[in-house]
Structure 1
């Protein structure tokens, strides 16, 4: 017996639409769903597979965020000098260099880092036994000449061993060059997950107030916390992606080449001295041409000997550099005959400029200058963003914000896995069970085409993202095919019914595509 759902006083319900009309109606609705489903599916699979990499990068980044401050505590004695009441009583820089050279007579001088009045002076040497961008550093009290320490210095941020160790962990997980692929994959997906998640969360809530709700129960509360946290830190996640990719292996190389082609790179001073021979790497002291006050000013610099490394030259250059810049700053000796010294400001908290000059070591006069104001705009922006990423630009405030951002990302990863765990099948099932429905195999919509174009364009910049994205799409399609095949096999079995979401399963439409006019409550 069938119970009618219509009233006798009402006309009969309109006939069910035909199969063709149902399909056309579905096609008309698909543009509203297809790209959103594709984005959800990509977000789901990337979250499941890439989240561990992002989690590791966030944990190491959380530690690295506070490394500049921790470094000052760990190496306090080595970094601190006994500043007298009159700072002009400092030892000549050339005497400090002579003392440091006695510690490492076999190594060529690479530079001298002059610190603030209460900081030690670092005499730097090139050591072929050290990793790339790492120098040997001897720390001396500039007022007494006492050697306070002997260790290494890494990179343009002058990082000491503890910060360098954390940097390597964050950069390559202490696995060397191959390990950089992990951080590049994490960085390239972090921004995509942030932007995609923000778009989906907005589509679901349609207001900022609703996007920031965190209440509810069970999985709903977990999802709201995940979404609200992502809404707050989305800009920070994109910032970490943009700056992180500049240090990456594959994408970083591409970005570096494009910056060079667009002249977005940091300019350097010209160290060639007028009246001297063209600088050549293998030139010796005997090749020095006549130049007023230049004769006889030689000091061994590793395997070769060049002019301008004597005591008088070092002191003249140091005096000029201190007159031009405030500490910390680094003076770098010539590495070839006929070249000048260079002096440049070092990265430091609340320092927004990095000026540089070339100095004639015979006269102490500035021969060339590159002020930060003359840098290309995007080179300036890149420098500021890098300093922000390293926690240097705004000192401890910068480090605190980075630490909170890393902690929030860690929490988001936890919320994401909790959402998946609560949605898992209670009786077992595939690891990707609970994935959003597929977008469908029909004609792609405008939204889908736009999304695909954006992803392809981004893949050109970040190839590792493109490769892993293609893998995710293949895995998603393969999962669908396997599930459909299993559903068809179950349906074909005698006396068996298909599961939800497969042809013939509960909730599926009748095979003729028409809606039943009979109530489902018939008994």
Structure 2
């Protein structure tokens, strides 16, 4: 015969006891307080920043495919091939002379030597063009025929169509003030991604990392639960890409980009340049190193541009000098490359490999135009690691590092961001109570409470303050969202009473 011992059930504790209070609102004594703060930050930032992120994603979708579209639109101007009548390339000096006949009043800014199937570009400084933009004459290197007269923008040598798309993505064609929109979008994109991941991770049941990850990738359910799970699954998959876009986008933003540049300069992480100093220049005022035609981070779109060429005529620009420099550059470097004339009397020419698909290095040399001898070398492997990483990340963001595959990934990433924004607003609208009137505002996530902040909350606040120092536009809007959080709850209470 067996007996069963029944233990008396524990009497419920009064609601005012400490134990009951901890079970009612455990967030004050656990990490859930931090989760609630992140949830509300994600909620309000998503509502107000999503329009900027959406516009950046739409323009970024065009920008991602711009390099390939450019090759199609300007195919005839960009390509050349030998013929039976002209089987070999003409001297580069003769091509420069031919281009100078078209623009005799403009100063020579450089010569871009392409691959055997590409045209040669002769670049000029044109004071009528916007900053970082050069006049470019495209010549068939075999026949000497002028195949186009256009413009070239930045160190990526963007042609007018890609330049126009870039200006839209960067500033909405509104000039310097318009760049604030893209900086706001970039600064919040990574915060929304990381914050959303943390919240989603902590909501999963189970202690195993694999189990939690599987839960984050769920897409089932119905109604708002299904929309939320799909939103979270998409965010989990593309989270690394979102942080990547934030880091690279901020490097050439208006305010944060300046701060990041100062940090890189203080840590000696700047992009080095080959020295064009020659004997006899040491007593010349300002005879320092001249920038190469591919001046690293300072030469990408919208962040200073490339060289605009010398403002005065100097020696070493005659056809013979150009041919000697071109021959030396082709021996030392890989095409496509850009030759940049000296900026001062007595200085050397510089030559640098251009940024192009599947090229992970940008070596450069300085050449004595009188003798054709290399006077200085700068290999990409000698750059600081941070400068190398910056160059690669920028090219990844621009879709030029790995060609078409790079552009496809960026386009898919932009499309995923658009989908996430739409789903985010749908989730927000579905938070409204059933049967609510048209004027009822959706409820916001629960507040973290007014208890003593946890360690996690303090760490979160410190991280946000530090990030706000680097990206001031984020800091200002973050404070605005705190105010919006309070006003939102107040407005909902007023609507409920009315």
**TM-score if structure 1 supplies the norm length?**
0.84
* C-alpha deviation, 1:128, in angstroms: 1.1
**Equivalent position SS for 1:270:** coil
Distance 1:18 1:26, change over 3 A: closer
Distance 1:82 1:29, change over 3 A: closer
**Equivalent position SS for 2:80:** coil
Alpha-carbon contact 1:246-1:256 (below 8 Å) kept = yes
Q: Distance in 1 between matches of 2:264 and 2:328?
A: 32
Q: Distance in 2 between matches of 1:391 and 1:132?
A: 23
* C-alpha deviation, 1:441, in angstroms: 2.1
**Equivalent position SS for 2:228:** helix
**Equivalent position SS for 1:399:** helix
Q: Distance in 2 between matches of 1:308 and 1:348?
A: 28
Aligned to 1:244: 249
Instruction: Kindly provide the CA deviation profile for residues 43-96 of structure 1, in whole angstroms up to 9, marking residues without a partner as x.
Output: 011111101111110111111101110000000000011234899721111111
Alpha-carbon contact 2:107-2:312 (below 8 Å) kept = no
Aligned to 2:485: 476
Distance 1:66 1:431, change over 3 A: farther
Q: 2:367 aligns with which of 359, 371, 375?
A: 359
* C-alpha deviation, 1:480, in angstroms: 2.9
Q: Does 1:169 align with 2:168?
A: yes
* C-alpha deviation, 1:41, in angstroms: 0.6
Aligned to 1:451: 460
Distance 1:430 1:263, change over 3 A: farther
* C-alpha deviation, 1:189, in angstroms: 0.4
Q: Distance in 1 between matches of 2:86 and 2:247?
A: 43
Q: 1:405 aligns with which of 404, 413, 423?
A: 413
Alpha-carbon contact 1:281-1:335 (below 8 Å) kept = no
Q: Does 1:17 align with 2:14?
A: yes
**Equivalent position SS for 1:240:** helix
**TM-score if structure 2 supplies the norm length?**
0.88
State how 1:16-415 maps to structure 2 within 5 Å: 16-17=13-14, 19-21=16-18, 22-23=20-21, 29-32=27-30, 33-84=32-83, 89-206=88-205, 207-276=212-281, 278-280=283-285, 304-415=312-423
* C-alpha deviation, 1:304, in angstroms: 2.8
Q: 2:426 aligns with which of 401, 407, 418?
A: 418
Aligned to 2:447: 438
Alpha-carbon contact 2:440-2:495 (below 8 Å) kept = no
Gaps of 5+ in 2: 1-5, 206-211, 288-308
Gaps of 5+ in 1: 1-8, 283-300, 491-523
**Equivalent position SS for 1:159:** coil
Q: Distance in 2 between matches of 1:312 and 1:13?
A: 99
Distance 1:278 1:147, change over 3 A: farther
Distance 1:410 1:368, change over 3 A: same
Alpha-carbon contact 1:281-1:336 (below 8 Å) kept = no
Q: Distance in 2 between matches of 1:405 and 1:415?
A: 15
Distance 1:396 1:11, change over 3 A: closer
User: Structure 1 residues 302-311 or 321-330, which shifts more?
Assistant: 302-311
Q: Distance in 2 between matches of 1:27 and 1:423?
A: 22
Aligned to 1:520: none
Distance 1:430 1:342, change over 3 A: farther
